[in-house]
Amino acid sequence: MINKARSNFKTALKTGKALVILALALLVLAPACGTTEPEEGLSSVSIGFSPMQFGQGLGNVFSKFQDAYNPYPSVISEMVVTVTYRDPGLKTIRKKIPGKNVSGSMRIFLEVPSGPDRTFRIEAYDRVGKLMFSGETTVDLSSDRVVTPVDLTLAFSCQGTAWDAERDTLPRLAKKIGLDSLGLGFLAGQIDFDITEEYDLISLALVKTATGIRIIADFNDTLDSGNFSGAVLLDTDNNISTPANGNAVSQLFAGMPLGADFLVLIQPDENAVLIDLSTFTGILAELPDAGSAVSIDIRNQRATIDVPQNLTGNIPGVVGFFGIFGSDGIPTDLAPDWGVCLSE
Ligand SMILES: [Ca+2]
Ligand SMILES: [Ca+2]
């Protein structure tokens, strides 16, 4: 932002607008020479944000991993910051930030009239203009401070799509901060740092179709159906306490009560099976043989799986889900526990 202001100023110098700007600045500052508290009404605010998701699977990773990059560059098209306050009527300040300028560690600077109950809201929109995440907070602003920090926690709008950050693959994160810090110590020994296929998940969507559920996983990379593999857990009854049989899968994710009733297991060469976890009692190695084949299509950067309703029974319409994907059974990225999303 500073760089941009600087380059704008350079342009202004070149075009002679600098004189106009200077004149305007003097006009604004002029009362300062004659009166004692000319800017008492304004507070400088520095706004920051941190994304939050259900289960916080990656929530605390952001604080460790976030640097000057946009965690969702290909999916955020625009971020809108609004400040609303009464003066005495309702007033709004709005600032739009193009997606390409959004970064996880950014601060947004605004001048806001001082006073109580200033409500700050951030909304981020995806490529098709759908709200992706948002958050707001209300603070009292006094002009005593040089800069007032305002920090928001953003919750995702989870309408059937779990968004995932770019460049957050498990090998990359493990190298940077370690698997234990990610709460993924159980994957130690399963991550191969030298694998070439490092599939980077961008989004995992659930769509209800006429015949069942369609799972769509989009990646940053072109998928090779010969090695693409993964698992998607589905909590189809939206109840984290079911199934209660303590199967091998729920024990694997101990401490993460996903309530997965079904597991979609994807193996290389476009093989996908659906396993009913309410009846599965075997060990993990037996999972591939415990399921019913479902249709999978791997094309370019997308994997599409259709789970027919005759295998799952009627699904009320709200499904929790969690996905983990990789190459030849080695996980490289995941969509953390997103809790409940509407499958519409
Ligand atoms: Ca990712
Ligand atoms: Ca359940």
Q: Name the residue with higher pLDDT: 199 or 128.
A: 199
Q: At what angle do helices 17-34 and 2-15 cross, to 10 degrees?
A: 110
Query: Span 210-228, mean pLDDT?
Result: 93
**pTM of the entire structure?**
0.67
Mean residue pLDDT of the chain comes to 77
Kindly give the distance from the C-alpha atom of residue 202 to the centroid of ligand 1, in angstroms, as a whole number: 5
pLDDT score at 241: 81
Query: Span 101-109, mean pLDDT?
Result: 82
Q: Residue 34 pLDDT more than 80?
A: no
Q: 70 near 102, Cβ under 8 Å? A: yes
pLDDT score at 71: 57
pLDDT score at 25: 37
pLDDT score at 97: 93
Q: Name the residue with higher pLDDT: 339 or 21.
A: 339
Question: Which of 42, 333, 304 is CA-nearest to residue 182?
Answer: 333
Kindly give the distance from the C-alpha atom of residue 343 to the centroid of ligand 2, in angstroms, as a whole number: 15
211 to 120, 260, 318: CA distances (angstroms): 43, 21, 16
Residues 273-315: tens digit of each pLDDT = 999 998 988 888 898 899 999 999 999 999 999 999 999 988 8
Q: Name the residue with higher pLDDT: 260 or 21.
A: 260
Q: Name the residue with higher pLDDT: 16 or 300.
A: 300
Kindly give the distance from the C-alpha atom of residue 200 to the centroid of ligand 1, in angstroms, as a whole number: 4
Starting from the CA of residue 198, give the closest ligand: 1
Kindly give the distance from the C-alpha atom of residue 242 to the centroid of ligand 2, in angstroms, as a whole number: 4
Q: Residue 60 pLDDT more than 50?
A: no
Q: Name the residue with higher pLDDT: 216 or 11.
A: 216
Per residue, the 3-state secondary structure of the chain, as one string, reads CHHHHHHHHHHHHHHCHHHHHHHHHHHHHHHHHHCCCCCCCEEEEEEEEEEECHHHCCHHHHHHHCCCCCCCCCCCCEEEEEEEEECCCEEEEEEEEEHHHCCCCCCEEEEEECEEEEEEEEEEECCCCCEEEEEEEEEEECCCCCCEEEEEEEEECCCCEEECCCCCCHHHHHHHHCCHHHCCHHHCCCCCCCCCCCCCEEEEEEEECCCEEEEEEEECCCCCCCCEEEEEEEECCCCCCCCCCCCHHHHHCCCCCCCCCEEEEEECCCEEEEEECCCCCCCHHHHHHHCEEEEEEEECCEEEEEEEHHHHCCCCCEEEEEEEEEECCEEEEEECCCCEEECC
Kindly give the distance from the C-alpha atom of residue 240 to the centroid of ligand 2, in angstroms, as a whole number: 5
Residues 156-179: tens digit of each pLDDT = 776 677 777 777 787 777 777 777
Which of 40-44, 57-61, 116-120 is predicted least confidently?
A: 57-61
Model confidence at 209, pLDDT cuts 50, 70, 90, reads confident
Query: Span 126-141, mean pLDDT?
Result: 87
d(CA 196, CA 215): 25
Q: Residue 30 pLDDT more than 90?
A: no
Model confidence at 183, pLDDT cuts 50, 70, 90, reads low
pLDDT score at 341: 59
List the shell of residues around ion ligand 2, using CB closer than 5 Å. 235, 237, 239, 242, 259, 261
